[in-house]
Structure 1
Amino acid sequence: MRWAAAQNEVFAPIAILIPVDTVEEAIEVANGTPFGLSGAVFSGSLERGINVARKVKTGMIHVNGQTINVEPNVPFGGEEFSGLGRYCGEWAIEEHTTVKWISVQNQPRSYPFS
């Protein structure tokens, strides 16, 4: 792709505008990067915006809203090279913990064998 700035995750206040001719081309451009943390789709038609959002490969995508949103009750994370797993919400418990059973016997126990 000739848009080098769009091929990297830039955590800075910048906007990259890439002209396209069709919605399909916009989806292809959005998915033409190895990153997929977050994205946004702006559309006058909410239904069309949601349909496009479903086709963009990101961990999070916002329709007619900002791309920066972290809520404690929803999973936060990306696709491809934009991270592994999710944090926030109940997904974080599974992602960041290991279940382990520890049994403690406080009193001597008698067994039916010697």
Structure 2
Amino acid sequence: METDIRPWGQYWVLEDAATHKVKRIEVKPKGRLSYQYHHHRSEIWTIIEGEATITLDGEVYTLGPSEVFRVPQGAKHRLENKQDTPLTIIEIQYGTYFGEDDIIRLDDDYQRI
């Protein structure tokens, strides 16, 4: 199983197919991913544990366990954990390409390009 450690937490690839990719993502307390978008995929996030603060095209949403959020292809988005406990989500990616190089970062706390 592919895994990757990032400054904000880590993820595990649960399934990688031609039509979709499934990840388990854990965001550390007070961690947040970059404000980003994708050219080739949309995403569906299911909150498993914790509270997610989600920014989508400038609008902010707060979701808890069992809630689902859709990120359309090309939409600017960010996932954040403002809590003192870990945030865990399942992410399902749909589209034509799922490579990490399809992350277009607009703002990043960790100065990644």
Query: Could you say which TM-score interval applies, normalised by the shorter chain?
Result: under 0.3
**Structure that is richer in strand per residue:** 2
What TM-score do you get using the length of structure 1 for normalisation? 0.27
Q: Which has the larger radius of gyration?
A: 1
